[in-house]
Structures are given as C-alpha cells and as structure tokens.
Amino acid sequence: MNFFSSDFKLGILGGGQLGKMLLSETRKFDIQTYVLDPSDEAPCTIACNKFYQGDLTDFKTVYEFGKKVDVLTFEIEMVNVEALEQLEAEGVKVFPSPKTLKQIQNKGFQKDFYSRHNIPTAPYKRFISIPELIATIEAGGVTYPFVWKSAEFGYDGNGVKVVRTISDLEGLPEAECIAEEMIPFKNELAVIVARSVSGQIFTYPVVEMEFHPEANQVEYVICPARISDEVAQKARAIALEVSKKFDHVGLLAVEMFQTKDDEILVNEVAPRPHNSGHYSIEASYTSQFENHIRAILDLPLGNTDSKVAGIMVNLVGAEGFSGAVKYENIEKILDIPGVTPHIYGKKQTRPFRKMGHVTIVNENMDEARKIAETVKNTIKVISL
C-alpha cells in the first residue's frame, strides 16, 4: 500500500500532545491523518488533515470515525473498545488491537495478565469497591502501607495513592480498585518497545524516572538510566517478554521498579507513545513517535539507539496559577545549548497540568543533569 502523498488515511483517536507529536512524523512523511477528540481546542487541530470533535468513549462516534480511515490508532487508552472490535471485524486495521487494549485498559485485568504469564510484578489484590477493600483491611487481608490504584480512568498520577491509614481512603472514587503491596525500590525505570505488524521488534534504552514528591508526576526522564549493564539487560529482556505476551503492534511503554535487590518488577504498561520516550525526539536516531507510525504501517523500524545522553523535563502548571497560559523565562532556557522546549498548545493552565516538556541533550550525562536542574528552576508555567 502507498501511504505517502496518497489517498491513504490514518486515524488517531485522541488529539492531545501525544497525537500532536505523532502528527509531526505524519507531516514529515506526507501521510493523511484524521483525528477525533472531545475538545475543539485539542493540540492536534493545528496539524491534522481533518479534525472531528466527539466523545472517544461513545460507540457510534468512534465507529463512524473509524469507517473513514484505513488504519486506526490511538494516543489515549480510554476509548470505546467495542467500536474498535466492530471496526476490526469489518476490515479496518486497528493497532494496537482491541484485544491488546482490553487487557491493558483495566489495571486489574493487566495485573492478572502478569500473574498468568509469570511476569514479575508486585503482589496485589483486586476489589470491586472501597467498602470491600475496607472490610478486607479490617479482617487482616490487607496491611498498611499499600498502594491504592483505580482499575480504570487513572492517568498522570491520578488514580494512584499511597494508603497508610484508613482515613487515606476517604474521598476516593467508589469504583473497582487494586491494593498493591508497597515495594521499596531503588529506581523507577521504563523501556519502550516498538513492534511492527510483521513482528520486527526493537527496544529503546532503559530510562530512569525521577518523580515529583507530591504530584506523583514524572519530573525528569533520564536516558540512559544510571544503572549497571546487568540490570539494564534484565529490564530490556523483561520488556521484550511483556511485549510478546501482549502481542501488541506499535509502541508499548513498560514501567518498572528496580528493587533494593536489583530485581525488576513490572508496574504497568501503556500501549502508545509515552512520557518516558519524549527525550527520543532530540536524543535518538528515530523518535518513539516515528517508530509508532512505522510499526503500525508495517514499515521497517528505525534505529532506537541514542545519539547522545538525553534528559526530559516536564513542564507542568505552577501551583497557584490558573487561566490563560504564559511561559515565563522561556527565552532564557532557549539561550542554553542543547535545550529544546516543546509547547503542547494547551491555552489554559492549572496546577500540575502537563503543558509541555523540555529536552536537554549533552555528551556528558552529569552535565545534562545539571542543565536539566537549571531549566526546571528557570522556566515557569504561569497564567497571564
């Protein structure tokens, strides 16, 4: 099939920043793209061939959008899977497949999947509601501290909470959830796996994530991770195993814990481009976004090696500011060699909202980390 400068249409469900960065690759290749998103101000509106506004969880909306395209992908997991299944049954190519997405969408199903396939993960228990969880705690079936996770609709640090006392459960959604044993770990790591329709499979280098202590959001993504070769090889091997078991097509971001004993436990996965791979736009031979496009169109995958050390700093809304966004001191970070800001195109800021990221590249990792700290302390996402 001819994808380039042709009538071929690629559909993307979700028009946020991940979609916008995918579109930089489709524009490079001159691939027609249609995007569906609930907001008429979605970041993708500026870069796709056709934009449709609609509910990603509504069967009819997703189904009718999918009938307009030849290949359908998504940049967010919370989409109507039944519509994807119907489209697939009628011959529309959907990647990753609805079968893969179903196993990942619900974190309870995802954890059960790891258990079934002997993939190392933290011990857990599933509950249909908070009252059931409380009853189990009172009966001694769950002990503090543990990590509460919403089974569905969790993202960007939402839907996850460390529970140390019964009062920590107050105000949490009355929905299906998981209680996961709290693992003392050295590092949070991630490996992005690219896998094509015909089964070609590459992994990106292991990255290390540093989190904001309050918001449970990644502040820095560091590539390569500052870990031993042995641990890195183990992490990549487990990521490959997870990818093969899910039988996914496209990108799979595998988030992991490195325990105090250097064991690797899988935390969770995302079947799409991921925050932990943003560094790859500047630092890798082939960005995660380009490889997602290559994978779902069954084109040869690009080199996933890094050209240089890369660190990604998230730009999130500063506390105490809401309203029309202003990027304070952006010109100061533009004056630093090896620094590239990416502004996502969200017009309104609020505390901790993801508004962009900055990539720092440098041949020296220690120097890159210092510059990342300077960037973090210089640029501020505030309101007018």
Q: Which residues pair with 94 in a beta bridge?
A: 72
> pLDDT band at 171, cuts 50/70/90?
confident
Quickly tell me which residue has 């590249």 as its tokens.
361
Residue 211 has a pLDDT of 81
Q: Is 107 annotated as a binding residue?
A: yes
User: Would you state the pLDDT for residue 215?
Assistant: 64
Rounded Cα gap, residues 3 and 222, in angstroms:
34
- Does 183 show up as a binding residue in the annotation? yes
Q: What is the pTM of this model?
A: 0.94
Strands 185-195 and 71-74: unpaired
Report the pLDDT value the prediction gives residue 288, as an integer from 0 to 100.
98
Mean pLDDT of 131-147: 92
Q: Is residue 267 annotated as involved in ligand binding?
A: yes
Is 181 labelled as part of a ligand binding site? yes
Q: Which of 33-42, 211-220, 301-310 has the lowest mean pLDDT?
A: 211-220
Q: Based on the domain organization, do 205 and 165 belong to the same domain? A: no
255 and 237 part of one domain: yes
Q: What is the pLDDT of residues 58-94, one digit of tens each?
A: 999 999 999 999 999 999 999 999 999 999 999 999 9
Residue 165: give the domain boundaries.
Answer: 123-181
Give the residue ranges of DSSP H helices in 39-129: 59-66, 81-89, 98-105, 107-116
Give 339-362 pLDDT, tens digit per residue.
Answer: 999 999 999 999 989 999 999 999
Please report the pLDDT score of residue 159 as a whole number. 84
Task: Please give the Cα distance from 136 to 274 (Å, whole number).
Answer: 35
C-alpha dist (Å) from residue 306 to 14, 270, 302 = 28, 22, 12
Total count of domains within the chain: 3
pLDDT for 165: 92
Residue 72 — φ and ψ, nearest 5°?
-120, 135
- Note the pLDDT of residue 152: 85
The enclosing domain of 318 has a CATH number of: 3.30.470.20
Residues 328 and 380: beta-carbon distance below 8 Å: yes
What is the CATH number for 146?
Answer: 3.30.1490.20
pLDDT tens for each residue of 209-261: 988 776 666 789 999 999 999 999 999 999 999 999 999 999 999 999 999 99
Tokens encoding 349: 């800021």
- 28 is an annotated ligand-binding site residue: no
Percent of the chain with pLDDT over 70: 98
271/331 same-domain check = yes
Q: Give the integer Cα–Cα distance in Å for 28 and 115.
A: 41
**249: its two tokens:** 């097509």
pLDDT at 154: 63
One domain, residues 38 and 149: no
Same domain? 202 vs 150: no
Question: What pLDDT, on the 0 to 100 scale, is given for residue 157?
Answer: 57
Based on the fold, state whether residues 189 and 298 are members of the same structural domain.
yes
Q: Is 362 annotated as a binding residue?
A: no
How high does pLDDT run on average in the chain? 95
Question: Which residue, chain included where needed, has tokens 């690797």?
Answer: 264
Among 108, 188, 105, 102, CA closest to 148? 108
C-alpha span between 152 and 155 (Å, rounded): 9
